[in-house]
Amino acid sequence: MGDKGGGTATIDASGNYKTMGGIPVGSYKVVVTPPASSASPEEAMKAAMAGKGDAPSGVPAKYIDPSTTDLTAEVKAGDTEKNFELTAE
């Protein structure tokens, strides 16, 4: 998982997302930032990363932190969809 720049996507309230622009072919680590909640994004991320349970959105804390996420994606030419199952452990 090199330094290709990657990409970003916005998650909607239903858990669907769409990337912003193209993502170069390659292998990537995937981090999930929860959608907006009543807490500020900074408060939600701090609470989840501090191990105080899942973020208010229900995203398990391990997926928010780049050092603990186990999600990866292999982007190949022509790929248009990637789905990720977020499980609490």
**Predicted confidence (pLDDT) per residue in 31-46, tens digit:** 988 766 556 656 666 7
pLDDT at 20 over 80: no
Q: Which of 22, 19, 23, 32 is nearest to 62 (CA)?
A: 32
Instruction: Residue 72: name the closest of 60, 85, 55 by CA.
Output: 85
Residue 71's pLDDT is what?
Answer: 93
Q: Cβ(7)–Cβ(21) under 8 Å?
A: yes
- Rounded to an integer, the average pLDDT of 10-29 is 82
- Tell me the per-residue pLDDT of 53-86, one tens digit each, with 9 for 90 and over: 545 567 888 888 889 999 999 988 887 788 888 8
In this predicted model, which residue has the larger pLDDT, 45 or 24?
Answer: 24
User: First and final CA of the chain: distance in angstroms?
Assistant: 25
